[in-house]
């Protein structure tokens, strides 16, 4: 099945961006690992990173036509601001898992609220890049169950 991974703003800088918080792994490395893992599980994975809210929303809308069965999303800073991305996910009604590299609960209070968590299938945070592989594993299980 088709699985979509969405990465929000500034995640294109992974590897050099606050490595103490976000780790040394680059987004390319994360995506390459996920594509590989998905194909081993018999699925096709596509990833998109954007710094623009409207591009993430447009990609979510496009899932209505491309057969996407599951979404894994790290909305990054949009986690704490974007009613619009939340509404897009609800509009297409495709199940999703929310991932954060850092443990947002250890950080500033403004990172403790998410516009996504109450409508996500699940939330993974604080486990670094491993969070994405765990999310993909869970997504694959859920696709098999349905």
Task: Kindly tell me which residue out of 31, 50, 74, 82 binds ligand DQA, with binding defined by CB under 6 A.
Answer: 74
Q: Establish whether 56 is an annotated binding residue.
A: no
CB-CB contact of 5 with 73 (8 Å): yes
Backbone angles phi, psi at 14, to 5 degrees: -55, 145
Q: Is 22 a catalytic residue?
A: yes
Only one residue has tokens 């850092």, namely: 102
Considering the complex, what minimum distance in angstroms separates the CB of residue 111 from ligand DQA?
4
Token pair recorded at residue 106: 């250890």
Q: Establish whether 93 is an annotated binding residue.
A: no
Name which of residues 86 to 105 contact ligand DQA (CB under 6 A): 100-102, 104
CB-CB contact of 24 with 15 (8 Å): yes
Closer to ligand DQA by CB, 70 or 115: give it. Answer: 115
Name which of residues 2 to 31 contact ligand DQA (CB under 6 A): 10
CB-CB contact of 110 with 139 (8 Å): no
Q: Is 132 a catalytic residue?
A: no
76 binds ligand DQA (CB under 6 A): yes
CB-CB contact of 75 with 86 (8 Å): no
Which residue in 22, 43, 115, 132 is the catalytic one?
A: 22
Burial of 84 (0-12, 13-18, 19+ CB in 10 A): middle
Q: Establish whether 101 is an annotated binding residue.
A: yes
- Catalytically annotated residues: 22, 100
List interacting residues with ligand DQA (CB under 6 A): 10, 74, 76-77, 79, 100-102, 104, 111
């Amino acid at each position: 099945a088709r699985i979509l991974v969405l990465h929000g703003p500034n995640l294109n800088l992974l590897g050099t961006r606050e490595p103490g918080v976000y780790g040394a792994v680059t987004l390319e490395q994360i995506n390459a690992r996920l594509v590989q893992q998905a194909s081993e599980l018999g699925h096709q994975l596509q990833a998109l990173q954007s710094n623009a809210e409207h591009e993430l929303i447009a990609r979510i809308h496009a899932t209505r036509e491309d057969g996407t069965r599951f979404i894994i999303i790290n909305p990054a800073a949009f986690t704490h601001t974007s009613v619009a991305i939340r509404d897009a996910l609800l509009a297409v009604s495709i199940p999703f898992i929310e991932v954060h590299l850092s443990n947002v609960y250890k950080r500033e209070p403004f990172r403790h609220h998410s516009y996504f968590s109450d409508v996500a299938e699940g939330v993974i945070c604080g486990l670094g890049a491993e969070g994405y592989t765990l999310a993909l594993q869970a997504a694959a299980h859920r696709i098999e169950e349905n």
